[in-house]
Structure 1
Amino acid sequence: MKTYDIVVIGGGPGGYVAAIRASKEGKKVALVEQGHLGGTCLNRGCIPSKALLKHAEVIHTIRDASKYGVEVGDMTFSLSKMMDRKNQVINTLRGGIQALLRGGKIDLYEGKGSVQPDKTVKVIGEKEETIQGTSIIVATGSFPTIPPIEGLDKISYLTSDDVFDITEIPESIAIIGGGVIGVEFASIFESLGTNVTIVEMADRIVPSEDPAASQLLTKTLRKNKITILTSTKVTAFKEEADKKIVVIQDEMGANKELAVSAVLVAIGRSPNHSATEALTLQKDGKFIKVNEKLETSQSGIYAIGDVIGNWQLAHVASAEGMVAAQNAAGLNKIMDYRIVPRCIYTSPEIASVGLTEAQAKEQGYQVKTATYQLAVNGKALASDHREGFVKIIADKEYGEILGALLVGPHVTDMISQISSYMQLEGTVEEMAELIFPHPTISETLMEAANDWLGKGIHS
C-alpha cells in the first residue's frame, strides 16, 4: 500500500490547488478524482457558462450593430460550433491542470475515493486500490439540488450539470430559480432566441445581492424580453404532448400554468458526501463542519469547497485549498472570509465584495455610502454601456472601506481593486487621491470616492 503525507480527494478548483500547494510545501501528495479534473467550475460551471456568455455577447453586438453604423445581413448561428468551442476551452484547461500535477510530482488516482476511519483511502476505478494518508483533504464538491416538487420526477428536465450538453435550442424554457445560476443561463438562452421565463420564490432575482443591483438587472433582462416571475412558487410539473407544464402559485395564491419546451432546475447545489460516508464527522446543517483551519471534527482530516458551504465559489474553494494544504503540511494558517469578491456574469455584470450596506449597519458601523452612475462616465457612454453604477460602503468615522457593489461592464475585473484596498485597510480618501486612467470604467471608483467625501467633480 502506497503512503502519502497528504491525500486530496476531488480535483476541482479546491482540490487540485490544495494538492499543488501541498507539493510546494515539500510533501508527498496523491490526488483522487472520479471524473474530469477541474471539477464543477471547469466542466459544468464557471468556464463553460462564461464561454457561452461570450457567444451571447457576440450575438447581441451583431443585433445592435446598426446603432454603430454597421449594417449586417440575416444572422445565423450554429449551436454545435458553439459547443465545440466551449469544449475546446475546457479541454485546454484540463490539459493545463494535468501538466501542473505532473510538474508537482503528484500521483493522480482516477476513481471514487472513500475515506476509512484509519485514514486509508479506498479508490474504486478500473481497479480497486487502497492508499494511506497522514492527512486527508476532502474536496468532493457538490451536485445540483433537486427540489421535491410533485411531478418533477415524471418529466425530462435539465440541471446546471447537463445543460451544457444540449443538442437543440429549445423554443421556450422555464428556469426554476432566479439566483446567480438562473440569471446567467437566462441570458444565454435569450441570446439564442429562446423564450425565457424565470420563476423565483423570493421577492426579487439574485436575492443575495443588493436590491439596487437586482432592480437594474431585472430591468435589463425584461428589456431583453425575459419574463421574470418573483414571489412565485412552483407547485407541480406535468407533461402534455410535447410540452412541459409548470404549475405555479403567485404571491396572491392564484394558480397558473406555464407551457414550455424545456425546464431548467437551478435552485442551488448540495454537498457531495460520497467520500466521507464511512466517517462520523460533525455537520453544520447539511455541510461538513470545520474550524478556522478547515480541519473537521476528526484530527488530520480537512474539508474545503462546496462540501463545507460558506461561499460556494471556485475562488473561495481555491483559497481554502491553500489554507488546508498549509495546515496539513504543519503550518498554522487561518481562513479569512472577510474579503470575498462575488461576481455575476450577466449583462450588465454585477460584482460585490465585503459587507452590504445592511450588513454593515447590523454589525454596528456608522455607515456612509456613495453611489456614482455610469451614465456620466465617458467610456461607458462611448461604448454604449451607460446602465450601471458604483456604490462604496465605508465607515463614516474613519473612511475605512467596508464593502462595494459594482454594476456595469467589466466590473468583475474591477472588483479586485476594491478588494486590495480592503485587504490593506485602505480608506475612501486614499482611493479618491489615486490617479486613474481616462477614459475608463474604473475611474468611476475614484469618482465615487470623491462623492463620498463630498468633493465630487462629475456627479
Structure 2
Amino acid sequence: MDKDIVVIGGGPGGYTAAIRAAQLGGRVCLIEKDRLGGTCLNRGCIPTKALYRNAEILNTLKNTEKFGINIHEYKINVDKIMKRKQGIVDKLVSGVELLLKRNGVEVIEGTASILDRNTVLVKNKKGEEIKISTKNIIIATGSKATSLPIEGAYLSEVMKSEEILNLTKIPKDLIIIGGGVIGMEFAAIFNSMGAKVSVIEALPNILSSVDREISKRFSILAKKKGIKINISTKVCKIEKSNEELIVYAEGKKGKLQFKGDTVLISVGRIPLTEGLNLEKTEVEFTREGIKVDSNFETNVKGIYAIGDVNGKCMLAHAAAHQGIAAVENIMGVRSQKKNNLIPSCIFVFPEIASIGITEEEAKLKKIDYKVSKFSFGANGKALALGEEEGMVKVIGRKDDNRIIGVHIMGPHASDLIHEGALAVSKKMKVEDIKEVIHAHPTLSEAFYESVMGLQGEAIHMLNKTS
C-alpha cells in the first residue's frame, strides 16, 4: 500500500485528522480541491468572526458617552474591513500549510473520487489523473449552504453566507431568510454596521436549538437594537422590481411583503457528497449525510466519514474531534471514552454559548432537575465592561447535584462556556466546583455563583432554584 490513510478534504476535520495520523507514524495523503482550511477557515467561521470584531467595535463606539468619552464622527471603510478579514484568513491558511508540511503530510491539490475501499482517484488542476492506494480512507468533504425551492432564489442580489462575506458595500436594507445561528450572526453584524435588518423565520422561534428562555431573552434584546424579527413566517417568492428586491411571505397575519436591496438565504447546510463516487462503493448515505458508527466508520470497512459530511454535528470543532477519534481508532491507540458533548457558540450581541441539555430537553426526558440563574447585572466585571445584559443558567440533577447543562448569554460567553463544558463532560457535581476559587473581579464568577445557587449557597443573589 502507498498510504496508510488518504484524507479527502482539508477543512478542520480533514487537516486535523491528517496531522494526528502523521504524529502517530502513519503515511498520510491529504487531498483538497480548493484551499486548505475548508469552509470554516475560508468562507465561514473565521471571516465571519473577523467581521464580528468590527461590529463589536462599532457597538462600543455607539456607546462611548456612558464611559465619558465623546466621539462626534467615525466612518466605515468597507475595503479596509474586507482586506483585514482576508489577511486573517490568509495567515491561518499559511499556518495550516506549514503544519501539514512539518508533519510530513503529502498534500495534493485536486478533486478526489473513490474507486474502491483501497483506491482513490485524484484529478488535479491540470486534468491529470493520479491513483493512490491506501489502507484507509477518511471522507471529510464538509457541507454546502442550501437554498429554498422558490421563485427568485437565484437572483444575483440573493446571497448565501459565502457570498455576503465579500460584499463591497454595507446593505441599506438587508432581508435575512432564516433565523438560525448563521442568519442571526449576520443580522447582528450588519445591524451594527448600520444596515436595517429584517429576519424571516418559518419556525415559532429564532435560534430554535438554544434553550428557550435564552432565545426568548435574546430576541427581545435584538429587537431593541432595531433588528426586525418575523417568526412563523414562510417565504413564498422573491422578486426584483427596479433596484429593489421584494420578498413575499405568509405569516399568522396573512400575506406579507419585505423590501430591501440585499437578501441573504440562510436556511441550513447539507452534506457535500457529490463526485465522491459513493454509489459504486456501496457506502450508505442519504441527503442527511454518510452513515457511520461510533468510530465514524461507514458500512464499508476502512472507509470513514467525519465532520459535516456525516451530518451528526455541523461544527468545526466537532469535525476536528471526530477526525482525531477516527485516526486513533485506525492507528490502534484509541482508548479513552468518546465525548459526544459539544459546546456551541453563537456570535451575536450579547454572545450565546451552551453545553449539555436544555431545560426543554430535561422536561422531555423526564429528568428530575433544578435550575439556577445568575444575572451579569450583578457581576462587577460585567458592569465595569458596560455589558450587564444576560445571564448564566445552570441545570443540575436534583438527586445528586450533577451539572447536566450550562447556558450563557452575555459578555465573552464563547470563552466562559468551557468551564461549563468541563463540568458537564466530566459529570461534575456542585461540590466539585465549590472548592475551586474563582478570581475577582471576573466574568467567571457568574458561573460559580450560578452553580452555587443549585444548592442554595450563592452569595451574591437570592437563592431560588426551580
TM tier, smaller: over 0.9
**What is the alpha-carbon distance in structure 1 between the residues aligned to residue 258 and residue 60 of structure 2?**
31
**What is the alpha-carbon distance in structure 2 between the residues aligned to residue 88 and residue 78 of structure 1?**
16
**What is the alpha-carbon distance in structure 2 between the residues aligned to residue 159 and residue 333 of structure 1?**
41
Q: Which amino acid aligns with 2:305?
A: A
| Paired residue secondary structure (2:165) | helix
CA deviations 1:75-103 (Å, max 9, x no partner) are 10100100000011001100110111011
**What is the alpha-carbon distance in structure 1 between the residues aligned to residue 270 and residue 402 of structure 2?**
36
| Paired residue secondary structure (1:360) | helix
Cα deviation, residue 335, structure 1: 7.6
| Paired residue secondary structure (1:325) | helix
The residue aligned with 1:216 is: 217
The 5-angstrom pairing of residues 364-443 of structure 1 reads: 364-443=366-445
The residue aligned with 2:187 is: 186
For the structure 1 residues 73 and 177, does the alpha-carbon distance in structure 2 shift closer, same or farther, using more than 3 Å as the test?
Answer: same
**What is the alpha-carbon distance in structure 2 between the residues aligned to residue 76 and residue 332 of structure 1?**
53
**What is the alpha-carbon distance in structure 2 between the residues aligned to residue 200 and residue 432 of structure 1?**
41
Cα deviation, residue 336, structure 1: 3.4
- Report if aligned partners of 1:234, 1:249 keep a CA contact under 8 Å in 2: yes
The answer to whether 1:197 aligns with 2:181 is no
Q: Which amino acid aligns with 1:224?
A: K
* More deviation, 5-14/372-381: 372-381
Cα deviation, residue 155, structure 1: 5.1
* More deviation, 216-225/258-267: 216-225
**What is the alpha-carbon distance in structure 1 between the residues aligned to residue 402 and residue 14 of structure 2?**
34
The answer to whether 1:151 aligns with 2:152 is yes
- Report if aligned partners of 1:42, 1:48 keep a CA contact under 8 Å in 2: yes
Cα deviation, residue 256, structure 1: 1.4
The residue aligned with 1:170 is: 171
The residue aligned with 2:362 is: 360
Cα deviation, residue 380, structure 1: 1.2
List, as ranges, runs of 4+ consecutive aligned residues in structure 1 with deviation greater than 6 Å: none
Cα deviation, residue 425, structure 1: 2.1
* Length, aligned pairs only: 457
Counting aligned pairs with the same residue, the percent is 38
The residue aligned with 1:272 is: 272
Cα deviation, residue 112, structure 1: 0.8
Cα deviation, residue 364, structure 1: 3.9
**What is the alpha-carbon distance in structure 2 between the residues aligned to residue 340 and residue 175 of structure 1?**
27
The residue aligned with 2:464 is: none
| Paired residue secondary structure (2:12) | coil
The 5-angstrom pairing of residues 221-300 of structure 1 reads: 221-252=222-253, 254-274=254-274, 275-277=276-278, 278-283=280-285, 286-300=288-302
**What is the alpha-carbon distance in structure 2 between the residues aligned to residue 294 and residue 103 of structure 1?**
27
**What is the alpha-carbon distance in structure 1 between the residues aligned to residue 51 and residue 341 of structure 2?**
28
CA deviations 1:9-28 (Å, max 9, x no partner) are 00000000000011111110
- Report if aligned partners of 1:18, 1:322 keep a CA contact under 8 Å in 2: yes
Cα deviation, residue 284, structure 1: 5.3
**What is the alpha-carbon distance in structure 2 between the residues aligned to residue 281 and residue 251 of structure 1?**
44
Gaps of 5+ in 1: none
CA deviations 1:345-403 (Å, max 9, x no partner) are 11111110011122233334211111111111111112111111111111111111111
Task: Please tell me the root mean square deviation across aligned C-alpha atoms, in Å.
Answer: 1.5
Q: Which amino acid aligns with 1:413?
A: D
**What is the alpha-carbon distance in structure 2 between the residues aligned to residue 276 and residue 403 of structure 1?**
41
* More deviation, 147-156/432-441: 147-156
| Paired residue secondary structure (1:447) | helix
* More deviation, 54-63/421-430: 421-430
**What is the alpha-carbon distance in structure 2 between the residues aligned to residue 51 and residue 300 of structure 1?**
38
The TM-score, its normalising length taken from structure 1, stands at 0.97
CA deviations 1:108-155 (Å, max 9, x no partner) are 000111111253111112222111111000000011011111232345
- Report if aligned partners of 1:293, 1:335 keep a CA contact under 8 Å in 2: no
- Report if aligned partners of 1:48, 1:164 keep a CA contact under 8 Å in 2: yes
**What is the alpha-carbon distance in structure 1 between the residues aligned to residue 277 and residue 419 of structure 2?**
39
The TM-score, its normalising length taken from structure 2, stands at 0.95
Q: Which amino acid aligns with 1:441?
A: L
- Report if aligned partners of 1:145, 1:267 keep a CA contact under 8 Å in 2: yes
CA deviations 1:272-309 (Å, max 9, x no partner) are 00324443222355210000010001110000000011
- Report if aligned partners of 2:117, 2:281 keep a CA contact under 8 Å in 1: no
**What is the alpha-carbon distance in structure 2 between the residues aligned to residue 256 and residue 109 of structure 1?**
50
* More deviation, 109-118/76-85: 109-118
**What is the alpha-carbon distance in structure 1 between the residues aligned to residue 396 and residue 168 of structure 2?**
48
**What is the alpha-carbon distance in structure 1 between the residues aligned to residue 291 and residue 16 of structure 2?**
21
**What is the alpha-carbon distance in structure 2 between the residues aligned to residue 287 and residue 337 of structure 1?**
21
